[in-house]
Amino acid sequence: MREGMFRNVSGCAISGIFSRSGRRFSGKLIIDSITVMHERSNGLGGGFAGYGIYPEYKDFYAFHIFYEDRIAKKECEEFLEEHFDIINLSKIPTRKVPQITNEPLIWRYFVAPLPTKLADSQLDEREFVVRCVIRINTAIDGAYVFSSGKNMGVFKAMGYPEDVGRFYRLEEYEGYCFTAHGRYPTNTPGWWGGAHPFALLDYSVVHNGEISSYDANRRCIEMYGYKCTLQTDTEVITYIIDYLHRKKGLTLKEICSVIAAPFWSTIERKPQKEREELEYLRSAFDTLLVTGPFSIIVGFEGGMMALNDRLKLRSMVVGEKDDMVYVASEEAAIRVVQNDLDRVWAPKGGEGVIITLENGES
């Protein structure tokens, strides 16, 4: 049994660090933060997402791919060559860590869609990439694209997050934003693809919780071409965000009002314009409301968003120091990397904290 064949419920730790000024810092910081929350995971999954880590290839999609064997790699590379210009490919550098075993082949490709293929598809470039990723993940046995954005990358494995960070030599990467996840699944995922963050294009999600709306959300989003192959909350939340943000053009704030919508009693107290807007969002996107406990950190190009479920059934704290913003399941995970905070607070349920680069560029 491996993840995707059953629904795997998890508790977790999450952490995110963001530099508003776009100053790039080492991945060591995020490892230090997530390490503090060791007890919140159980060694069955850990991972990171880094943004701004590939400035030299920032115009190309960076595909991180797990292969179970060379046959899968060959088949996948044939597919990639058919659909993309491959600018660079290499193994993702790792170091041997006793706690991390049974690693698959882990490769990285910087690619751009082939102009002719893209034109033939009549799709916009990002949709073309999404479809190719979903195609590889569902049709090529033993190949799994776990990161597909520009100037960002996901690194994940079976193990405790601090060991995963060392395994991937994360301290050697520099970015303006990192997020991290330590997983406490109730069942063993059986393979590395089940670890988090879950990512599609530049959207990455780390999540702590178990959503009670899962199947309502899954069955809704699968109408729009997504396939929830992992059966995890994180996967379905990522697709919802991609759908609402990229495909429907909602702002992140509006997305918060869909997935962690205010209660009707709250909406009724709002001024008329705001009330109408909130009513519209809840009514128009009703089955994308997410209930049950969750705290999530969404990474995207140039920004990061933290959000709790509407009842705040999971802990999540935000801290600020100068241009730096820290989000974590526990305040300790912030204090360990920055004890001298200008401000620290626990956002209310459903209150999205959206942080973007000051100059609007990554």
Partner 1 sequence: MAVQYIYPEYEVVRNHDRCIVCRVCERQCANEVHEYLADSNRMAADDSKCVNCHRCVALCPTRALKIVKTDHTFKENANWSGKAITEIYKQAENGGVLLSSMGNPENYPVYFDKILLNASQVTNPSIDPLREPMETRVFLGAKPENIERDENGRLKNNLPPQLQLSMPVMFSAMSYGSISYNAHESLARAAAELGILYNTGEGGLHENLYKYGKNTIVQVASGRFGVHKTYLNSGAAIEIKMGQGAKPGIGGHLPGAKIVGDISKTRMIPEGTDAISPAPHHDIYSIEDLRQLVYSLKEATGYTKPVIVKIAAVHNVAAIASGIARSGADIIAIDGFRGGTGAAPTRIRDHVGIPIELALASVDKRLREEGIRRNVSIVVGGSIRSSADVVKAIALGADCVYIGTAALIALGCHLCRSCHTGKCNWGIATQREDLVKRLNPELGYRRLVNLMTAWKHEIKEMMGGMGINSIEALKGNRLMLRGVGLNEKELEILGIKHAGE
Residues that bind partner 1 (CB under 8 A): 7, 9, 11, 186, 209-217, 219-220, 222-224, 248-250, 254, 261, 263-265, 273, 276-277, 280-287, 289-293, 310-311, 313
Q: How far is the CB of 122 from partner 1 (least distance, A)?
A: 18
- Which residue, 98 or 249, is less far from partner 1 as judged by CB? 249
- For partner 1, the closer CB: 293 or 319: 293
* Nearest distance in Å: CB 245, partner 1: 12
Among residues 12, 76, 220, 256, the one annotated as catalytic is: 12
CB of 278 to partner 1, least distance (A): 10
Query: Closer CB to partner 1, residue 32 or residue 210?
Result: 210
Q: Which two tokens stand for residue 347?
A: 């956002």
Least gap, CB of 272 to partner 1 (angstroms): 12
CA quadruple 8, 50, 76, 142: dihedral sign = negative
Dist CA 119 CA 241 (whole Å): 26
**Closer residue to partner 1 (CB): 74 or 247:** 247
Q: Which amino acid is at 91?
A: K
3-class SS letters over 136-191: HHHHCCCEEEEECCECEEEEEECCCHHHHHHHCCHHHCEECEEEEEEEEECCCCCC
Rounded CA-CA distance 128/158 in Å is: 30
Catalytic (active site) residue 12: yes
> Minimum CB separation from partner 1 for residue 140, in Å?
24
What three-state secondary structure class fits 130? helix
Query: How far is Cα 66 from Cα 73, in angstroms, rounded to an integer?
Result: 9
Residue type at 57 in one-letter notation: Y
* Alpha-carbon span 169 to 177, nearest angstrom: 16
* CA atoms of 260 and 225, how far apart (whole Å): 23
The Cα 98–Cα 42 span in angstroms is 16
143-147 β-sheet, strand order: 84-91, 105-113, 61-67, 143-147
- Cβ neighbours for 232, distance < 8 A, ≥ 6 positions apart: 3, 7, 8, 10, 194, 196, 198
CB 221 within 8 A of CB 228: yes
Q: How far is the CB of 73 from partner 1 (least distance, A)?
A: 34
Measured CA to CA, the distance from residue 5 to residue 19 in angstroms comes to 38
User: Taking the complex as a whole, how short is the minimal distance between the CB of residue 262 and partner 1, in angstroms?
Assistant: 10
Nearer to partner 1, 69 or 276 (CB): 276
Beta bridge partners of 49: 154, 179
Give 217 or 238: the residue with its C-beta nearer to partner 1. 217
Nearest CB to partner 1, comparing residues 23 and 219: 219
Residues involved in catalysis:
12
